[in-house]
Amino acid sequence: MSIDVKSVLDAFEPSLFVPQLKSKDKTGVLREMIDRVQAAGIVRDARLLFAMLEQREGLGSTGIGHGVAVPHGRSLAVPRLVAAFGRHQKGVDWGSVDEAPVHLVFLVLAPPLERSSRYLPFLGRIVEFVGDARRRDDLLALEDYEDFQEKMRVALG
């Protein structure tokens, strides 16, 4: 199943755009991003969500290389597919496959069951998007949420 550009863009919200992550490690970044999702009123139980993400990281790092991490999972704590984007200027150790620090974080969350089955295709589109070095550079230089949306729209369009 494929996922269209509009569906990808709809999963992101301005309040879930974090251009300056402040935490100094992976655990802190996960908490910081979950706090954003909770502040947006999307998460039912932030502790449950954090535990799920920690467990997922225990299975293997979601640091996919080239300075990118895509922590993800399914949880009853979220009612729908939702995604957050965060950028860390200095980078944090994520245990990535290439051992490079992570600067770009895409948090992807979905309920255990979703009628549209968009979760895996969504993850695929994100990985496809960040596979290009120029796109990663564009994300590092973003001005604001509108710029983020435009970069995604053009690249995935």
How does the average pLDDT of the chain come out, rounded?
Answer: 92
pLDDT at 127 over 80: yes
Residues assigned a catalytic role: 72
Q: What are phi and psi of 124, to 5 degrees?
A: -60, -40
Percent of the chain with pLDDT over 90: 80
pLDDT at 1 over 70: no
Half-sphere exposure of 95 (CA within 13 A, CB side): 11
What are the tens digits of pLDDT across the range 115-125?
Answer: 767 899 999 99
Instruction: Tell me the whole-structure pTM to 2 decimals.
Output: 0.95
**Looking at the 3D structure of the chain, how many domains does it have?**
1
pLDDT at 63 over 70: yes
User: 91 or 9: which carries more pLDDT confidence?
Assistant: 91
User: In the predicted model, what is the mean pLDDT of residues 116-145?
Assistant: 91
Which structural domain range is residue 119 located in?
5-156
pLDDT at 55 over 80: yes
User: In the predicted model, what is the mean pLDDT of residues 142-147?
Assistant: 93
CA dist list (Å): 57 to 51, 69, 156: 10, 11, 27
CATH number of the domain where residue 22 is located: 3.40.930.10
pLDDT at 26 over 60: yes
User: 24 or 4: which carries more pLDDT confidence?
Assistant: 24
pLDDT at 89 over 80: yes
Closest CA to 17 of 157, 125, 150: 150
